[in-house]
Amino acid sequence: MQRWLLGIAAGLALAAAAAAEPKLNLNTATKAQLIALGLSDSQAQQVISHREKSGPLLQVEELHAVPQMNTSTFEKVRDRVTVDE
């Protein structure tokens, strides 16, 4: 039973650490930051091109409008990004 409790404690610690990590602003992120987040090189470039052409994203969900952005990548990064300053 102690292993079970240790597993839960470790999971909670990881969740707390992830929650404390600052979110990456999609409107100001560099290509390198977007790639480090988990986007491919071409997806990162598409995010930058999209915001240069269309202006800043107002909601994280607008990331779906970026060419080459697929649902699995969006789901992977959605909780780690923001559009707020």
Q: Is residue 18 part of a domain?
A: no
Give the whole-angstrom CA distance, residue 46 versus residue 50.
Answer: 6
Q: Residue 75 corresponds to which tokens in the numbers above? A: 């789901």
Task: Please report the pLDDT score of residue 53 as a whole number.
Answer: 95
Condensed to tens digits (0 to 9), the pLDDT of residues 20-31 reads 689 999 999 999
- The residue range of the domain holding 35 is 23-82
| Averaged pLDDT score across all residues of the chain | 86
Rounded to two decimals, the pTM is: 0.74
Q: What pLDDT was estimated at residue 14? A: 58
Tally of domains within the chain: 1
Q: What is the CATH number of the domain that holds 51?
A: 1.10.150.320
Query: Which amino acid is residue 68, in one-letter code?
Result: Q
